[in-house]
Each structure stands twice: as structure tokens, then as C-alpha cells.
Chains A and B, each alone.
Chain A
Amino acid sequence: MATDVIMPQMGFDMKEGTLVRWLKREGDAVRKGEMIAEIETDKAVVEIEAFGSGVLRKTYVGEGQTVPVGYVIGVIAAAGETVGDRPAGGAPPKASPAHHPSPGKGVAAAPASGEAMQRPQSSASHERAGGQPMPASGEAVQRAQSSASLERLKVSPLAKREAEERKIDLAQVTGTGPGGRITREDVVRQATQAGTPAKAGPATPALGAATLRFGETAPLTRMRQAIARNMTRSKQEIPHVYITAAMDMTRAVDLRQQLNEALGAEARVSVNDMVLRACALALRGYPVFNASYTEAGITVHPQINIGMAIALPDGLVAPAILECDKKSVAEIAQASKVLAERARAGRLTAQEYTGATFNVTNLGMHQVESFSAIITPPQTGALAVGAVQQEPVVRGGQVQEASVMRVTLSLDHRAADGAQGALFLKDVRALLENPVRLLL
């Protein structure tokens, strides 16, 4: 039976992917599970595997071409089997709205029934091994114990066994089944990613930093390659506009001190956490910066997920604080700590890797006064945050000392104009200069 190779979705905001390289050529034999192509998402270069065995009979998409998620990029079939010269079904599935005469009804019907399916499942999907008599054999006892620790996870029994077999920590696996249930495929995917470190991009210790020596050329690591490609693409495709604004952080610094006294050492809030919160709130009023530009239009993402740039030995990642605008400053502080830890340990989830809709990058800790960031495609904006410095300011005709911070917004001029950027920054400033509003 012919199996289509499709452009996978590697995060909810991924709409398209670029075929970087075919690892197999037309006519090559492939086994199910073998890596057949490298694709590039907005964050990383990822290898995709064959979902069937046979011969890679056709590749419909050339290297360097970008196609929408779900597009058939090739087909695997038996040697004698007939395969089309064009992808079966022609247009990518997302072109289907044209098929919908009454989209309202059709669209509403689907999620509704999906929801009804999920509810009963969440309560029935895991077993309570503790409540059952222990089976006799040692093997069985082990099984029972391992399921007890997973009680709060929605996971299929087979996925659980597979995870034990492959020594995968289920807490790190993103479930793709109904209601986020972890399926066997999810575990296998995680395992193959862990096995080939660079697959999901950065941060696995094995990746390490390339050791650079004078007089020698070090090969590029996957993360370097990905960053190089992404940044080059950004600078080639996105006409950047940079707008810098200074803000008086005196009150924010005071508030932060009060917060930290109240919250205790465990929950310390940084200035950056406050900036993240201010950005998230300001983005609500400027959806164009929480969006992606394509020729088809400007797609505004349903969630505000702010990517927080984290430096790693050999590059950086910008994992997302999901639904950042719905989190309090303290929650953001907590989330950013956890993300930083997990990023360094190489244990981010796919959604965290690829889910950011707007990036914030901060070099203030290195006393950088101001700088500008390159937008990470397909985002439309990025904020570069400098250090908070003591400067003289004129207030009511008097020279006073104030804590001043400079931020620079990079915006995609195809999607938005400078004035919009300026207004967005004005909102950010208003929030940070009247920081109690961050607590509302």
C-alpha cells in the first residue's frame, strides 16, 4: 500500500515547513521508521521518518521548497505499485475551506463531538494499580508499580510499556492522542529524538559546544546550522524596522523589590519577568505582532506565547511561556525558571520549542545598554532588552537620578509599520512605568 510522506506539524503555530534535504532519493528502498528527509521548522531542523516501508517512489517537493503543513511531499510504495505524478488529492488539505459551503456548521460540528469524546476518557485512561491485588510474578509486580507512579498522566498502556522498554520518562513526552493522551507513537518519536540528539534542535548535552581552536575549522553543529539558516532566512526575507525606546524603571525596580520581599527567595521575580508580562499584555492590543506573515495573509495566533531567549553553550533557544498574558508576574517568574532549567537539560517539549509567537531577548545582565534582535521566522516581532542603568533624568525641571532601561523592537515591515511599533512600545512603557498595572 502506498504511504504518503507529509509535511508534519511540529508545533501548533507551524503552518509550513521547508524541505532542507532528502536523505533518500527517488528509487531508494526505505524501511518504516527510517529517516527520509530533513525539514526545517521555524526553530529547528528536524528529520522526518517514513511511516511505511517500500520504495521512495516520488518526491513531489524539491530541496529548499516550502510547503504547508500536511502537504504530501513524497510517496512510498511497492516497486510495482502505481503512484501519481502529482500528490494525490492535489491541493494541500488546508485549501479545504473552499469545499465548505457552510463552514460555520461544519466547523462547529467537529470540535463539539471531539470534546464529548475526551471527557469520559480522562477519567478512565489510567489504571489504579494500588487498588488491585498484586499479581504473583515478579515481572507483573514491576509492571504494577510503574503504573502507579504514572497515575496522573493520560497515557495508553502500550505507550507505558514502550516507555519502560526504551527508558523514556513519560513526563517529558507530549501526547498527541485525544485529550493529549500519550500514544505509543509519541513515545517512539521522543525516543528517536533522544537517540539522534540534534533532531529536535538544541540542548541535549551530547550536542555540546563545538570546541574552537586557533588555526582549525570546527564542523557546524546542528544547532549552529539551524540558527545560521533561520537567521539568514530572516534577514533575506523580512525587512526589519528597529525602534528603540527608553523607559523609566524606577517604580518597577521598587515594586520588584517589594514583590521579592513578599514572595521569598524561592519565587524571585526578575526585571525580565516584568518585561515579559508587560509585553504579553501589550500584545493583546497589537495582534499584528503576535502573528505570522505570508503572502496569503497575516495569521494571528490564538495564544500569546512569548519566547524567552536562553543562551546555551553552543547557541540559543527561545522556548515559549505558553499563554503568557494569562499568567501573573509570579507565574511567569516560575515558568521562566523551569524553562531555563529544562532548556539546559535538553528536555523541552515540542510545543515549548516551537510554540513561541513573539520573542524577548535580554542582554541586560551583561550591562548592554541597547541592541537589536533578528526576528525569528515566522514571527513578526522581537524585543531586545538592555540593562537597567542609573541615569540622570529631568523631572519637573529638576535633574534626578532614575533607573532607565532601553528596549528595541524589531518588526516585520511587511506585516506592520513603524508607527504601530511605536504605539506598542508606548503601551509597554506605560505598563512598566506604572507597574501596579502588571499585578492586575
Chain B
Amino acid sequence: MAETYDVAVIGAGPGGYIAAIRAAQLGMRTAVIERGALGGVCLNIGCIPSKALLRNAEVVNLARHGETFGITYRDVQFDMGKAVDRSRAVVERMVKGVAFLLRKHKIEVIAGQARLTAPGKIAIDTSGQQVSARNIIIATGARNRDLPSLAADGKAVITSTEALALRTPPRHIAIIGGGAVGVEFAYYFRAYGSEVTVVELLPRLVPQEDEEVSRHLERALAKQGIAVRTGAGVTGAEHAGGRVRLALSAGEPVECDTVLLGVGVRPNSEGLGLEALGVAMERGNIVINERMATNVPGLCAIGDVTGKLLLAHVASAQGVAAVEGIAGLAPRALRYEDMPRATYCQPQAASIGLTEAQARERGYEIKTSKAALMASGKAVALGETDGFVKIVADAKTGEVLGAHMLGHDVSELLGEVAVTRLLEGTALELGRAVHPHPTISESLMEAGLGIYGESLNV
């Protein structure tokens, strides 16, 4: 009879491995079961390799504009294969880090495909091993989705996973989906010289962002030579002679040699034995409450498989909340609107909290304030003046309801706003805190002061 764990986690992505570490930290006997590589999508085929490639794209773009800095080259070459090699090296290093952390916390790592056979019982299909646990956390993530009219074939029609491994830029790539993933790849392939068309069904790019951010980003990408087709759905695809012709619901069809599907993900909730246990699901997403508990006692779910907010840091935060709930600690409710969101092309789009429109919808009387990066000494010095920092505040209390930013590395400013929200700071505190000069963070301070009509540099 094998031992019984206090907590068994299925899936070692940013949700699962963080949950396991927190559980071990609280003194629970913990196991994590993973069928693939430690680190999940995020470390292996998501956040980390894509950010490594985007750094390459940024360097390539700087090199292309070397004259600005008085640097001239003859015979400059941009080897995308080497960029991919670098990104794999980054991945390898981070995955090793996860393995080390799990070892350090004496967490049992079990390799294989897990399936629940009864409450508290897991079978590892690949090895036949049985695992018992008082609490089980499902963190099996999600996988890329196809379009009804277009399925990935790994050749002409690819997903982000193949795109991360391409060693030469496609001549013309059409990217279906103008969300974060689509826009990041557009920026990357464009830097390496591909002709890029982004097709988005909704009327604007990064449609979940504040409208002003979307509009500004569209202009910035257009400047880089990226074609954007918004308000256009794919209605059909024809393959002919190694090329794909995409029919769109609006405007001319797009001809390209590669199609990248960036249309979202589907939860990995099948084959886990959830139906037999009566686990409540909604369109494949496991339904959870604010303590991450499912409707079945002793069973929690976190991360992409819950379909709440498909971001790595959200998965991790859910993991910590689930484990602390299991340990009987006072639950810290996650406010999903307080989760920071970013798109890592340059200029970056970064946001947290409510958009202007959402705040109005919820009946807030609001004040907004915007600081253009044009006025930031640091942005000018960097030669990256495109963008702005915008704050949406409650007109009554000054509460920072949302921050919406576009600009060079502005995702790094999200932490400051997240802390402000957590500590219930207002725009006044953002404005009063002395910020280092010259940094782009000063724009956040200016925007904060701007809520009270007291901006100093605008």
C-alpha cells in the first residue's frame, strides 16, 4: 500500500509547481504528477521561450535602426535559428530551476499521465502506479485551439508551439488572432523580415485592453510595417501550391505561405476521469469557487484548466490560494481584475484593473489622467517615446481603478500599480511617492498627480 499524500498536484506548470511548493512549505506531504516537462506550457512553449525570442526581436530592431545611435554595419545578418537556440537554452535553464526547487522542498515528482479513479485516488496510466491523496489539485492547463474552418497541420498552418521553433522567417505569415500571443509573434516575425498580416475578428487589436491602448498599439505596429485587419473573421482557407489563401468576412482575402493560429486555448480537462466523479464543468473549464474548490470535496482546480484568466501568474496565485485553503489558513480572495496583464512586443501594452469603459459600466464616476512618454526624459533618452501611461481613478476617493500603459518595457511598471491596489493606495499616493529620475516610472507618478490636476511635467 503506497503512502497517502496530503496534497497531490496534477500538472507541473506555473500553477501546479507553485502549489506544490507552497504545500511543502506548509508542512504537507506533497507529490506532483507531470506527463511532459516540468514548468508546463509557460516555461517550455509559452511565456519564457517567447520572451527570449522577443528580446532577440528587440535587438534586431535596434540594429536595424543603428544609424540613430551612430552605428553603421556592413553585411549584418539576423539568424533566427540562433534566436531559437538561445530561447531553448533559456528554457532549459529555467526548467532545471523548477526541478531543483521541487527537490529542495522534498516534493515527490511522478512522471506520467494522471487520471482520477475515485475521490482521493489517482492512477498513473503510463506506469500503472496508484497514488492516494487527501487533497488533489488539478493544474493540467490548456492547449492551443483550432478554428472550425481551419485546423493546424504543423506545416502551413501552425500554432505558437511550432512558431517558437521556426528557424527561418516565413515570407508572408498571416496571424489569426490579435490577442497578446498573436501580436507578440507579429512583432517577432516582422523584426526578422517576414511580411505579417494580423487578422482579428473583433474591431480592435488586444481587444481586452483599454480602447486607447488598442488604437495606439495598432498605429505603432503599422509603423513597423505590420498589416492589421480588424473586424475580420476567417471564413475559409484554400491550400494551393504551398500557399494558403484565407477568405475573410470583410475585405480582400489574404494570401500567405504560413498561417499562425493564435485564437486561444482549450482546457485540458478530458481523460482525467472528472465526469465519473461528477465534477462540475462549463465548456470544459472546471468550475471553482473563490477557494479554488470544485464541487467535489477534496478536489481543487487552478490555472488555465479553470478558464478564469489564462496567465501564468494567475495560475500561481490560484495555486497558493488553493493550498492555503486546504491548510485551513484564512482565505485570501483573488480579485481577478487586480491581475496584471501584458503584451510583450515593443512598445509593450500593460494593464491592470478596470478599463475606462468597464469602470463606467460599473457605475463609477471616474477621472482619468494620461502622461505621454514624449514628456519623459528617460523615454526620450532611450529613443522610445511612443506611448503613454493612463490612470482611471474613482472621482470620489481617488482609488486607482485601473492603469493602462503602452510603451517601452511598461510591463515592469505593473508591479507598482498592483501594490498600490493591494495596499488600497490612491492616485494621490502614486503621485506623492518620489520616483527615481530619469525612469519611465515617473510617468506613473505624473499620471497620479494628474488625477488631482497637479501634474508637474505635463
Contacts and interface: CB of A to CB of B under 8 A. Distances in A.
Interface of A: 1-4, 72, 75, 81-86, 88-91, 93-94, 96-106, 109-110, 127, 132, 135-137, 139-140, 143, 156-159, 161-162, 165, 183-184
Contacts of B399: 158, 161, 184
Contacts of A159: 424
Nearest to B328: A96
B396 A99 contact: no
Interface in B437-457: 452-454
A137 B424 contact: no
Interface in B284-336: 287-291, 293-298, 308, 325-329, 331, 336
B106 interface: no
B432 interface: yes
B27 A2 contact: no
- Nearest first, the 7 closest Cβ-Cβ pairs linking A and B are A90-B297, A96-B328, A84-B295, A105-B27, A156-B424, A158-B424, A89-B293
B25 interface: yes
B425 A2 contact: no
A157 B297 contact: no
B327 A106 contact: yes
A379 B396 CA distance: 44
B327 A183 contact: no
B362 to A, nearest CB: 10
Contact of A93 (B26, B298, B328): B328
B68 interface: no
A109 B26 contact: yes
A81 B283 CA distance: 11
B425 A3 contact: no
A83 B287 CA distance: 8
A100 B445 CA distance: 46
6 contacts: A4-B290, A82-B281, A89-B325, A100-B28, A156-B424, A161-B426
B381 interface: no
Given A88-B293, A89-B289, A89-B291, A143 B326 contact: no
A173 B300 CA distance: 35
Given A83-B295, A98-B134, A137-B453, 17 more contacts: A1-B336, A4-B290, A82-B280, A82-B287, A88-B288, A88-B291, A89-B297, A89-B325, A110-B26, A137-B454, A156-B424, A157-B424, A157-B426, A157-B428, A158-B397, A184-B399, A184-B424
Nearest to A121: B423
B395 to A, nearest CB: 11
A148 B90 CA distance: 51
Interface residues of B, number: 44
B325 A93 contact: yes
A161 B398 CA distance: 8
A93 B135 CA distance: 13
Interface of B: 6, 25-29, 134-135, 280-282, 287-291, 293-298, 308, 325-329, 331, 336, 396-399, 423-426, 428-429, 432, 452-454
A97 B335 CA distance: 27
Contacts of B288: 88
Contacts of A109: 25-27
B367 to A, nearest CB: 12
Given A81-B282, A88-B289, A99 B328 contact: yes
Of listed A93, A159, A165, residue having the most chain B CB within 10 A: A93
A94 B330 CA distance: 10
A183 B424 contact: yes
B424 A100 contact: no
Contacts of A82: 280-282, 287
A85 B287 CA distance: 13
Contacts of A110: 26, 327, 329
A98 B326 CA distance: 10
A255 B428 CA distance: 57
A158 B135 CA distance: 38
A105 B428 CA distance: 42
B139 to A, nearest CB: 17
B403 to A, nearest CB: 15
Nearest to A147: B428
Contacts of A81: 282, 287
A132 B28 CA distance: 49
B282 A162 contact: no
Nearest to A176: B330
Contact of B425 (A1, A88, A158): A158
Contacts of B296: 90
Contacts of A105: 26-27
Contacts of A140: 428, 452, 454
A139 to B, nearest CB: 7
Contact of B27 (A72, A96, A102): A102
Contacts of A83: 280, 295
A4 B397 contact: no
A157 B288 CA distance: 32
Nearest to A85: B295
Contacts of A94: 328
Nearest to B329: A110
Nearest to B308: A1
A88 B287 CA distance: 10
A408 B428 CA distance: 59
A121 to B, nearest CB: 9
